[in-house]
Structures are given as C-alpha cells and as structure tokens.
Amino acid sequence: MMASGTREAGGRSYAPRYNVPADRIVSIEHPCIVQNFDNGFKSLGGEAQLEQVLRNKVDESNAKPTPRSGKQECVVGVSLRPHDPLAKKIASTGVATQNVLIKVALPKWTGRKRKRGSDGPFVECSSVSCHSRSLEAPQLLRRMRDNASSYSIEPVGMITDTHRFRSQPDFQMLSDNLPMMQRLKASLAHASYASLKDLQIDLSPGPLKSTEYPLPPSLTPAPVPYRYDYRQAPYVVYKFNEDGVAISQNASKTLFKGQSHSIAADALEVPQEPPSNRGPALRISEEKLSQCIEQLKQLLEKRPLVSSRLVTNTLKDVSASLLREIYCTVGYMFSNGPWRDLLIKYGVDPRTDPKYRFYQALLFQMDSKVAPKQAKEDATSDTRRKTSPNSHIFDGTVYMEGGKVWQLCDITDPLLYRLLHENPPRAVCDPYASGWIQTDVMAKVRVIMKDKLNYLASGQVPPEQDYLDFLQGLQDKETTDAPFDGARYNDHVRKLNSNLAVMIGNLNRTRQAKESGRNHRPKTQAQASEDGGNGGAEDSEEDDGIGEDDELEFEEANMYDAPREEG
C-alpha cells in the first residue's frame, strides 16, 4: 500500500508530494535532556523571554542593534539552574535555516510482543522499553519499517530560525549565603515600590564595613571550549613498587640513551650486540615493534650500512621518530668520521675492509640562501617519502630537498661514479676524514657534488663541461708538474680549483688533529692562498671540514659539520 499522495503515470510511481503550511516555526536546541517540559520552558525564561525570538527573525537581527534602530538582538538565554534567578545564562546563536518539521503518527504500542517473523501468539510485556518521547532516529525508522502500511506523515511547518547553544557556561560564585544577596533577593522578588524602598545600601564614605560583594560578572574570556585532547605522556611509565603501589617514572633519559648507540670513529672495538640499558619504544605497540625490528634486520642483511633516508624510504608505514627509537636494537652508529650517522649492523666494522668504502657517507650543509624553501621543509614527512621513494639516490640531475647525508654507493652521477670506482682505495683506513678513499679523490668528489647540489637547488643545470675542464686541468698539473693554469679556464673552474685546495687542507688537518689528540681550526680561503694554494679567487667559498660539532670550529659554512640527519 502506497502512502497517500503517491502518483502513478506510465507505469511509474513517484514519491508523494505534501503541502507545507506557511506557519513560521522557531527551533530551539536545548543543551540539556528535557524530561520535564515545564522546567525546560522555565530554563529558557518563559513566555516573556521567548516573545522577542518569535517576533524577530534571525536574518533581520544579525546586525548589532543600535539605540536608533530600536531592534533587539534575537538571542535566547538558557539557565542551567532555572530555580535560581541570579544564575548566569548561556546565550544562543541564531542561524537561518530551511528545515521542515514533520509529524509522524505511528500505531500505539499495545504492550504485547512476539518474535519477529514467527506466527506465534503475542505475549504481554510487563514493562515498556521505550517511551515515544525518547525515540531516537534509528528506533523511529525501525518502527516505521515494522508498520509500513499504517503510519502517516504530516508536514507541520517551515523552521526558518534555529537557535543553538555552543558557548560554554561561565563560572559563578554561589551567593545564596551572603546576607547582602539575601536582602537583594527579598527586595527584588516582589515588583513593588515598598519592597525596593526597604533595601538599604551603605553608601557612606570611608572603609567599607561589609565586603559581601560578588565576584566580577564574567570570569571566562573564551566562550568556545578548547579541544585539549589529553593523552598520556609518552615518556612517563608506571611501575609497581614492593608494596604493590603504582608509581610513575620518567623514562626519557633511559630512552634517549637507547635511541642511538654511538661510538667514536677511533674506537678500538665495535658493538656486537644491543646495549643492556636501552629504553623501550613507548609510542609503538609490541606487534608493530617486532615487525619493524624484523624489517630493519632484513635490510641490514642486504646492506650492512644504511642511511636514515634509506630506512624511511624502505619502511614507509613507520614514522622516522619511531624508527630512531629502535635503531639501537639492530645496529650502532659512529658519532664522527666517514661513516657518521649511518646505521651499521652489529659486529660489522667498516674500518677493517676496503669493500666498505662505498658505504661511506658524505654530509653536506646546504646554503640557506640558495634554497631557502627547501631548507625549511621537513624531509621526514610522509608526503615527501611517498613522492620521493628514491630520495637517497643522487643522479646529478634531480635535487632532493632535505638531503644532507649521501652514501657513495647511492651516487649514480656518471662523473662522480667514475671518480669513485676508477681510483684504488687507500692502503690504510683513515677513520677520521677520508676513510678508504684517497684524500685527493674524496676532495674532488665533495667539491664537484656540492657545486652540483647548489646548481640544482637554485633550479639551474650544472655545467658538466666546467667539471671536465676542472679535472683535465688537474690531470695536466700532475703530468707536467706545473701550477694550475687558471688563465685557460673561466671563473667557475678557477673557483672549483681554489675550493679543492681548501678541501684537501681541511681533510689533512682533520686527520692530523685527531691523530695528535688536539682540536684544530681549518684555514680560510685567504690563509690557504697565502700558504701556496692555487687560484685564490675572491669569490671562492670555504668548503668542508670533518669532525664532531663540539670539537671543530669553522669560520664559514662547513659541510661535514652539518646537523644530524633527520631522516
């Protein structure tokens, strides 16, 4: 049976059409659950207070009223203590709406029930489970489906104004026990001149004899409540003492010690297993922790030395901050030297075999003036890892923002690749500066790669011919044993040559200072020129030195003194 008003045409049935009366209806969304209509109506101020809401429309009173306009702001006030005339009220916010109030009539429940879908007799129910006034939308729809042929719908009117309460109630001092407020209530309770005449207030000058005055009328400056989203502090753990009482303990120091098991570049031995005092990964579940550790172990089996960016690109579902908490579980790190900030598998010492030379790291501090936007961006964000899965690879044509650490095995640029693979390794490892790479080769790679990064960061194409001319000039110098002929080349090639002189000097001084156990200060470009460095162009920049942040001092931007990689 179709509802009344259903139309049929051409074998098709259309939804019923109803006429909505022109009566104007104002909706007030009471913030409380109203179980007693009289109390709910009284909390809104009664008929006298609601009269202005019924007379004025929201869209006509949105403008702030002025003394000349004479319009009253269309606001409803609700009191959470309707029996207290001095209680503060919560002001409503009026919104113009176009809703329809619908009256749904359902058959009255007889109090009998039987199992749905069965033909058994109806059984009397001793108690009513739900009153019709407290029906919610799912329950109403359920009853309409059960009585599809016996319910009726009737539009009542258009809801043009809706008043909602979104502000939080203000604090208020209960003043019922103050004698002053008791006299004030007694005088104002009866709207008569005689009762107001009996109210006496001491207005004499001098010190007040009575301090029974209420607090300021408004105490909360923010009408809208904040979303605090309280949660447990990640570095606070709870343990039970000997008496079985739960006590809190700050595990931040223990956790910090366990985040990265770092050793010096000249340590006699490398760690064979995780430290015993490492802290737990407090912000990750046990299941997720075991899964991450297993994935890290598999990665280190394929590649015993990995950078943080390679780890974050491989384990994309885990944040970089959580990965750093479990690094000490699978490997250790060097605090300085050519393998600085790399995650190394326990038991693997890259200083013992030249085959580990291609796992060495190059640390660069990019100039913020060259790429200010890229320097400020977070390289550990999920978006960057999704869009740049190969951000740990340098091909000489694409600039990856946020990259400070590059491994030699991840450099695929043809020119740099040839320099690294055509030259033999050192006979003895240099754990402080160049590792297994020859000092002059390492200096050439660092100077050319830093220059290419600057070009790519500024949106320009690196001049490959200048690099070839630079290397050819160095080769001619070694063959003829003559000084570098800067007059044959342009300013850029001469700048590369002067940067190379500074780089070689810094690498040598870093190694000598570490071996002698003293700090050093790398020479500036002017000092290098005075000592016989070729080139000496005024615009040449001081390049890299090597060492820990608290051990070396540099006058200009120093690539090996770059901040620790963030992923």
Phi, psi of 385 (to 5 degrees): -70, -30
Q: Which two tokens stand for residue 372?
A: 């200010």
CA-based nearest residue to 320, from 328, 330, 310: 310
Residues present in the chain in total: 567
Rounded to an integer, what distance in angstroms lies between the CA atom of residue 264 and that of residue 343? 14
**What is the pLDDT at residue 482?**
67
- 472-514 pLDDT, tens digit per residue, is 888 877 777 767 666 777 888 888 888 888 888 888 888 787 7
Angle 118-124-125 from CA coordinates, rounded to 5°: 100
- 151-180 pLDDT, tens digit per residue, is 888 999 999 999 999 888 888 887 777 777
Residue 161 CB burial class (10 angstroms; 0-12, 13-18, ≥19) = buried
Q: Which two tokens stand for residue 279?
A: 């802290």
Higher pLDDT, 53 or 562: 53
Q: C-alpha distances in angstroms, 125 versus 129, 139, 301? A: 9, 18, 70
Phi, psi of 394 (to 5 degrees): -115, 115
CA-based nearest residue to 466, from 482, 483, 486: 486
- In three-state secondary structure terms, 347 is coil
Domains and CATH numbers, the chain: 18-63+72-113+130-164 (3.30.200.160), 176-202+209-215 (no CATH), 256-561 (no CATH)
- 14-27 pLDDT, tens digit per residue, is 888 899 998 889 99
- Strand pairing class (331-334; 246-250): unpaired
Rounded to an integer, what distance in angstroms lies between the CA atom of residue 296 and that of residue 274? 14
**What is the pLDDT at residue 548?**
36
Residue 525 has pLDDT above 50, yes or no: no
- 54-91 pLDDT, tens digit per residue, is 888 887 755 455 555 555 567 889 998 888 877 888 98
Among 120-129, 157-166, 516-525, top mean pLDDT goes to 157-166
- 368-383 pLDDT, tens digit per residue, is 555 544 444 443 344 3
**421: how many CB neighbours lie within 10 A of its CB?**
9
For residue 285, what pLDDT band results from cuts at 50, 70 and 90? low
Contacts of 157 (CB under 8 A, 6+ apart): 20, 21, 22, 23, 24, 25, 100, 101
DSSP 194-226: HHHHT------SSS-S-------S---S-SSPP
For residue 544, what pLDDT band results from cuts at 50, 70 and 90? very low
3-state secondary structure 94-107: EEEEEEEEEEEECC
Phi, psi of 213 (to 5 degrees): -120, 145
Rounded to an integer, what distance in angstroms lies between the CA atom of residue 258 and that of residue 150? 71
- Written as one letter, the residue type at 195 is S
Rounded to an integer, what distance in angstroms lies between the CA atom of residue 433 and that of residue 544? 11
Rounded to an integer, what distance in angstroms lies between the CA atom of residue 151 and that of residue 1? 11
- 209-259 pLDDT, tens digit per residue, is 666 666 777 888 777 777 777 777 766 777 888 888 888 877 655 444 445
Phi, psi of 97 (to 5 degrees): -125, 170
Q: pTM for the complete prediction?
A: 0.48
Place of tokens 């000489």: 396
| % the chain with pLDDT above 90 | 18
| % the chain with pLDDT above 70 | 73
Q: Which two tokens stand for residue 421?
A: 């693979």
